[in-house]
Structure 1
Amino acid sequence: MPRDEIEVPKELREFMLEEAEETFLGQKNGAEKQYRYGNLHIREYDDKFLVHNDKIDPRKDPIGHLVYDAPEVLIGLACAIFGGSEIAKKMMNKNSKKSTVTSGLFSSIISGYVGYLATKKIKNYLE
């Protein structure tokens, strides 16, 4: 849980802003549902709500949101593209087209995930 996230137990008080909209934007982190109200991101679990404030509302500026609130996603994508293309280039000369595509795809997934996790750990450490 990020340091700036607030936990509100449901048993304390069931709450939900009337104007909050259910959304698929954002990492659910195991939540049943998630909502947005401006820059407020609310995740609903069985027993609690987790609430935090994003710097940028992804519904209004998705790229800005990725840059400022979720850079790990952008870095993960960049690592996936770079890692996959580099492995595919190296494999192109050695193997068949099928194994090149397979190894490129596999290395993209691994590279992207490693980039994502590393950036997420750094981001959490700096918060």
Structure 2
Amino acid sequence: MPRDEIEVPKELREFMLEKAEETFLGQKNGADKQYRYGNLHIREYNDKFLVHTDKIDPRKDPIGHLVYDAPEVLIGLACAIFGGSQIAKKIYNNKSKKPSLSYGLMSSIISGYIGYTTSKRIKTYLE
């Protein structure tokens, strides 16, 4: 749990803001549902709510949200595009003269995952 996240027991259900909207935007982190109210991000679990404030509301500025609140997603995408294409080129040049979509796809997925998880760990460590 990030340091800036607050845990609210489910018994305090009246805490849930009436105007909070259920959303798919954001990482669920195992939550049953998630809600947004302005910059407030609320995750609902079986026994509790976890609440934190984002710097930028992704519904209003998705790119700004990725840059300031979820840079690991952008890093993962960059790694998937650049790293995946470089690995696929190497495999293509060394093993086969026939291009393969599966080489490119698998190398992109692996590169993106490594970039995402590494930057997520660094972000968590720095928080």
State the TM-score, normalized to the length of structure 2. 0.93
SS of the counterpart of 1:97? coil
Residue identity matched to 1:80: A
- 1:38 maps to 38
What corresponds to 2:99 in structure 1? 97
Matched, 1:74 2:50: no
Superposed CA offset, 1:72-99 (max 9, x none): 000000000011110222233341223x
TM-superposition CA deviations, 1:30-83 (whole Å, max 9, x none): 111100000000000000000000000000000000000000000000000011
Aligned residue for 2:24?
24
Stretch moving more, 65-74 or 89-98: 89-98
Rounded Cα–Cα distance in structure 2 between residues aligned with 1:87 and 1:125: 29
SS for the counterpart of 2:112 is helix
RMSD, matched Cα: 1.0
2-structure distance, mates of 1:110, 1:89: 15
Equivalents in 1 of 2:91, 2:51: separation in Å?
Answer: 46
Secondary structure in structure 1 of the residue aligned to 2:120: helix
Counterpart in the other structure of 2:122:
122
Which residue identity lines up with residue 43 of structure 1 in the other structure?
A: R
Counterpart position of 2:54: 54
Count of paired positions:
124
**Which runs of 5 or more structure 2 residues have no equivalent in the other structure?**
none
How many angstroms apart in 2 are the aligned matches of 1:106 and 1:41?
A: 33
Query: Could you tell me the percent identity over the aligned residues?
Result: 81
Distance of 1:91 and 1:117 partners within structure 2:
24
Secondary structure of 1:27 counterpart: coil
Q: Which residue of 2 aligns with 1:85?
A: 85
The SS at the match of 2:31 is coil
